[in-house]
Amino acid sequence: MGKTVWKFGLAGGAVSAALMLGTMPFAHRIGSDLALLLGYTTMVLSFLLVYFGIRSYREKNSGGRITFAKGLAVGLGITAITCVFYVATWEVVYFGFMPHFMDSYWAAEVAKIKASGAGEEKIAKKLKAIDETKQMYDNPVYNAAMTFLEPLPVGLVMTLISAGVLRRKESNTEADAVKAS
């Protein structure tokens, strides 16, 4: 199982890193809402490797059979490795090349809050929360933990769907032999 998990996890991580590096320079040009949609779309693309990894394990290592639990284990391993690549890429980009990324992101959020027409007290409360969060993001450990949580739900959903779709208790040849008799 380990070889398959590493192979597809590293591939998913490489796809994740490449897509992040390819799309980050355009994030400020397309706006935060569209950038968020683009970001999650790239995550889904990188987590497609979970499906292919579980399928590969089923066909090459498990004789055409795989339980939901085993598929889940393979998928979770691939997801974890892909998420680690995502985090590592973000940490390098954020702290090395775009240290002011969050400043512009938070400025856009502040503008949205002010434009919402909320009362001064509510705006002040939200602005304080944004400032506190911004300060926490300057801590690399906090930043990494929060960044890990971004792709994780996508990976978990892809893993659950893939493990469910690909589970097979008996191989096709065994099922065909049973049907023929």
pLDDT in tens, 32-44: 778 888 889 999 9
Determine, yes or no, domain membership for 87: yes
Determine, yes or no, domain membership for 116: no
Give the other-Cβ count within 10 Å of 93's Cβ.
17
Rg (CA), the chain: 21
How many domains are there within the chain?
Answer: 1
pLDDT in tens, 63-82: 899 999 999 999 999 999 99
- What is the predicted pLDDT for the residue at 17? 95
Determine, yes or no, domain membership for 68: yes
Structure tokens at 181: 């008799």
CA atoms of 113 and 71, how far apart (whole Å): 44
- SS3 labels along 89-120: HHHHHHHHHCCCHHHHHHHHHHHHHHHCCCCH
Going by pLDDT thresholds of 50, 70 and 90, the confidence category of residue 157 is: very high
Determine, yes or no, domain membership for 22: yes
Determine, yes or no, domain membership for 138: no
Determine, yes or no, domain membership for 137: no
Please check whether residue 130 is in contact with residue 110, taking contact to mean a CB–CB distance below 8 angstroms: yes
Domain that holds residue 69: 2-98+148-171
Give the other-Cβ count within 10 Å of 119's Cβ.
9
Determine, yes or no, domain membership for 162: yes
Determine, yes or no, domain membership for 163: yes
| Phi, psi (degrees; rounded to nearest 5) at 129 | -60, -40
Who's near 73: CB < 8 A, 6+ residues apart?
Answer: 1
Unique residue bearing structure tokens 């998420």: 83
pLDDT in tens, 103-122: 777 777 777 777 877 778 88
Structure tokens at 151: 């792709």
Give the other-Cβ count within 10 Å of 24's Cβ.
19
